[in-house]
Amino acid sequence: MNKIFFIHFHLILLNVALLLPNYNAMAEHFQKPVTSPHVCDFLGNISINGLPANPDDEIAFFDSTGLLCGLFIVQHTGQYGFLHVYGDDPLTPIDEGAASGEQLYIKVWSSQTNAEYHGENIILVSGDQTGSVLSSRLPPIWQSQVRYSLNIYAFIKNDINLNQKIDLPDALMGMQLISKQHTCNQPCLFAQDIHNIIQILQQLSQ
Ligand SMILES: [Ca+2]
Ligand SMILES: [Ca+2]
């Protein structure tokens, strides 16, 4: 076998690998979506509990009926995409995914903690428009053959100190944040009440 054929064969394998969706390798948490010829793409930053998401963390997109129609396994820390979100193919009897203009929902899974984030534990921020990639609408919607930039922040709601559990230090930090934001002229009963509650929480958390 000559060298040129060997290199050519490997280039073909590489091209095939690049064409395949990246979840063929190893989705551990979410199921793989059914593919269709109609695709809307998303990309952007992804963080979990204030830190960039790790390789093997998973992002899933759902249509408004709860059908999983997009999946991406993080490869580069803190980034995702292009994530293909599949649309329904009207020529097939099954429902493959979203319709034009349909709202999309997102879930995130941490491979390190095995925790799933969704609903009010996800904050979405439109990314910048660059070239053919548009800044995503909020909430995100599905449009065929459009690429959107969308940053995803997954976190545990009320975990104010970002230590992945909700306990007294979170309540204490929350009250301290309120007291810093609140200003009023003396005498101020509200500020005194806040101060007293902070003292109680400090004693309880010791
Ligand atoms: Ca269909
Ligand atoms: Ca906490």
Domain boundaries, the chain: 23-154, 168-204
**Residue 170: nearest ligand to its CA?**
2
Highest mean pLDDT among 11-20, 87-96, 185-194: 87-96
The neighbouring-strand residues paired with 87 are 98
Please indicate whether residue 166 or residue 59 has the higher confidence score (pLDDT): 59
Q: What is the pLDDT of residue 11?
A: 44
Please indicate whether residue 200 or residue 24 has the higher confidence score (pLDDT): 200
Tell me the C-alpha distance between 173 and 175, whole Å.
5
Q: What is the pLDDT of residue 162?
A: 84
Tell me the C-alpha distance between 84 and 110, whole Å.
20
Q: What is the pLDDT of residue 117?
A: 97
Distance from residue 179's CA to the centre of ligand 2 (Å): 19
* Confidence band, pLDDT 50/70/90 cuts, at residue 79: very high
Q: What is the pLDDT of residue 3?
A: 52
Is the pLDDT assigned to residue 129 strictly greater than 60?
yes
**Residue 99: nearest ligand to its CA?**
1
Give the rounded percent of residues in the chain with a pLDDT score beyond 70: 85
Q: What is the pLDDT of residue 128?
A: 95
Q: Of 23-27, 129-133, 177-181, which gets the smallest average pLDDT?
A: 23-27
Distance from residue 152's CA to the centre of ligand 2 (Å): 20
Q: What is the pLDDT of residue 193?
A: 85
**Residue 97: nearest ligand to its CA?**
1
Distance from residue 134's CA to the centre of ligand 1 (Å): 26
**Residue 174: nearest ligand to its CA?**
2
Q: What is the pLDDT of residue 24?
A: 53
Is the pLDDT assigned to residue 102 strictly greater than 90?
yes
Distance from residue 72's CA to the centre of ligand 1 (Å): 22
Distance from residue 171's CA to the centre of ligand 2 (Å): 9
Distance from residue 39's CA to the centre of ligand 2 (Å): 39
Q: What is the mean pLDDT of the chain?
A: 88
* Contacting residues for 199 by C-beta, under 8 A, at least 6 apart: none
The CA distances from residue 144 to 3, 92, 98, 102, 139, in Å, are 42, 17, 9, 11, 16
Distance from residue 167's CA to the centre of ligand 2 (Å): 6
